[in-house]
Amino acid sequence: MSHTEPLGNFKSEDAPHYDDVLQCMRCGFCLPTCPTYALTGRERSSPRGRVALARAVAEKKLEFTPAIKEEAFFCLDCRACTSACPSGVRAGEVMEVCRSQAHAFYPLGKMGKAFREFILQKMVPSPDLLETSMLPTRLYQRLGIQWLVRHLKVLKLGPEWMEKAEGMLPRLEKPLRPQLPLLTPARGEKRGKVGFFLGCVMTLMYPNVSRNTVRVLSHQGFEVVTPRETKCCGAPHLSEGDRETARQLALFNLDLFLAQDVDYIVTDCAGCGAALKEYEELLEERAEHDRLARFRSKIRDVSEFLMEVGLRTEGLQEITASVTYHEPCHLCHAQGISAQPRRIIRQIPGVELREMAEASWCCGSAATWGLKYAEDSRKVLDRKLENVKASGAEILVTANPGCQLQLAWGVREASLPQDVLHLMELLGRALPPD
Ligand code: SF4
Ligand code: SF4
């Protein structure tokens, strides 16, 4: 998707491939699938328009203007357009590459740069620092300050994103990573050994999900290796246009997991899974092809994995509930995994799957997009919540922490009755007690 040769008016580092912007035949099949086009009705905010802008830069017909920078960041990178495109154009990924170009053309000021570097290059790559950074928030929640702030509606005075960010916070627990065993034994007849990729957002915000993923894998007969050194997959860096830090993290995780004696590498986070599967492309000039191919061949989303090996359903307890499923963009569009989570839901005794309309339409979270464009995000979310409501289901299931944060917040704000769970939490409820 990116290369280091000069391409038209792009800077030389990390420019899109010309082929990727040339393939668009302007058919418009992608238009009805694009949330930002639905919001604005503007051609430049559509996949077709964005690819046309990138092509014009590549062909030296246009400079890399502020409008292109805006579109690069306004794109949700939801990849819905890729699923719809008959030519295989990946407008979201072209825009992701354009974000790093945007930083090259329009560098941040001193303060902004220092802040960005601290967050992306120091804090996020360090699991220890990330966990420590959560301590003030845990105190804020436990000392009653959060209650006061919410009760007095103090954050209504600030920008919308701040109130939303605070409102989205689930109750934080002690970091899970140091508590999870390095090796969890298989239960029943052993079927293999898997490495568990511990996603940083998932484990910090929803440790119960990671805990349940390990339980499920173990109950399914797999020995689970959880390397504590695992670092962020690099998805937040790609999303913010810092491709170099993403590469450093990818190289670290590649070495770490290839050194483990495991049959598969499993993740419960759609965003991590998509990023891990794209290491091959990200590192094409930095790591040996056979190592990248070996790593890629082992990566599985947990739902993909369970359907591939076959879900053992004996011993699953009945859950009498109706469930609707929201498809994370990075699961259905980026990884093509759509049927597997539904098949798991259907195999849980007692569960009724009620399809919502537009299940694969973005929820409006998209990493920091939901905060940067809080008002637009709200509109995208409202459309999703209408469909959740119409399903009449008791439980809303998803498979990505970003979606879960956004949906749980939306459901609370709209006073909807649904519980919002990750697929592994739902399946975990059906497991016999440990
Ligand atoms: S991006 Fe694909 S679907 Fe959209 S106009 Fe171009 S070729 Fe058609
Ligand atoms: S990735 Fe999503 S937001 Fe971006 S152009 Fe494609 S459909 Fe639109």
pLDDT digits (tens, 9 = 90+) for 345-369: 999 999 999 999 999 999 999 999 9
Q: Same domain, yes or no, for 290 and 327?
A: no
Q: Same domain, yes or no, for 188 and 304?
A: yes
The type of residue at 31 is L
Q: Same domain, yes or no, for 187 and 296?
A: yes
Residue 163's alpha-carbon distances to 46, 150, 157, 168, in angstroms, are 29, 9, 9, 9
Q: Same domain, yes or no, for 325 and 403?
A: yes
264, β-bridge pairs: 194
Q: Same domain, yes or no, for 200 and 299?
A: yes
Residue with tokens 């879900």: 311
> Is 274 inside a domain boundary?
yes
Structure tokens, 279: 């290491």
Ligand 2: residues with CB < 6 A are: 33-36, 47, 50, 75-81, 91-92, 95
Residue 51 CB–ligand 1 contact under 6 Å: yes
Q: Same domain, yes or no, for 191 and 301?
A: yes
Structure tokens, 387: 């469909």
Mind listing the pLDDT tens digit for each residue in 161-208? 999 999 999 999 999 999 999 999 999 999 999 999 999 999 999 999
Give the CATH number, domain containing residue 7. Answer: 1.10.1060.10
Structure tokens, 247: 């590469």
Structure tokens, 393: 């289901």
Question: For the chain, what is the domain count?
Answer: 4
Ligand 2 atom closest to the CA of 37, numbered from 1: 8
Q: Same domain, yes or no, for 93 and 121?
A: no
Residue 113's alpha-carbon distances to 107, 274, 345, 390, in angstroms, are 8, 27, 45, 45
Q: Same domain, yes or no, for 303 and 366?
A: no
Q: Same domain, yes or no, for 337 and 290?
A: no
Ligand 1 atom closest to the CA of 31, numbered from 1: 4
Kindly report the backbone phi and psi dihedral angles of residue 265, in degrees, each rounded to the nearest multiple of 5, phi listed first: -120, 120
Compute the Cα dihedral for 339, 345, 347, 353 and give only its sign.
Answer: negative
* Mutation to probe ligand 2, out of 20, 50, 76 (largest number of atoms < 8 A from CB): 76
Asked if residue 292 lies in contact with residue 280, where contact means CB atoms within 8 angstroms, the answer is: yes
How far apart are the CA of 154 and the centre of ligand 2, in A? 35
CA torsion angle for 208, 162, 75, 284 (degrees, to 10)? -50
Q: Same domain, yes or no, for 87 and 145?
A: no
> Is 372 inside a domain boundary?
yes
Residue 85 CB–ligand 1 contact under 6 Å: yes
Q: Specify the 3-state DSSP secondary structure of 72.
A: helix
Taking only the tens of pLDDT, the chain with its 434 residues reads 555 566 899 998 789 999 999 999 999 999 999 999 999 999 999 999 999 999 999 999 999 999 999 999 999 999 999 999 999 999 999 999 999 999 999 999 998 899 889 999 999 999 999 999 999 999 999 999 999 999 999 898 889 999 999 999 999 999 999 999 999 999 999 999 999 999 999 999 999 999 999 999 999 999 999 999 999 999 999 999 999 999 999 999 999 999 999 999 999 999 999 999 999 999 999 999 999 999 999 999 999 999 999 999 999 999 999 999 999 999 999 999 999 999 999 999 999 999 999 999 999 999 999 999 999 999 999 999 999 999 999 999 999 999 999 999 999 999 999 999 999 999 999 999 88
> Is 176 inside a domain boundary?
no
* Mutation to probe ligand 2, out of 37, 43, 73, 81 (largest number of atoms < 8 A from CB): 81
Q: Same domain, yes or no, for 353 and 330?
A: yes
Range of the domain at 31: 2-105
> Is 278 inside a domain boundary?
yes
In whole angstroms, give the CA distance from residue 426 to residue 209. 9
Give the CATH number, domain containing residue 268. Answer: 3.40.50.1860
Q: What share of the chain is helix, strand, coil (3-state, %, to 5)?
A: 55, 10, 35
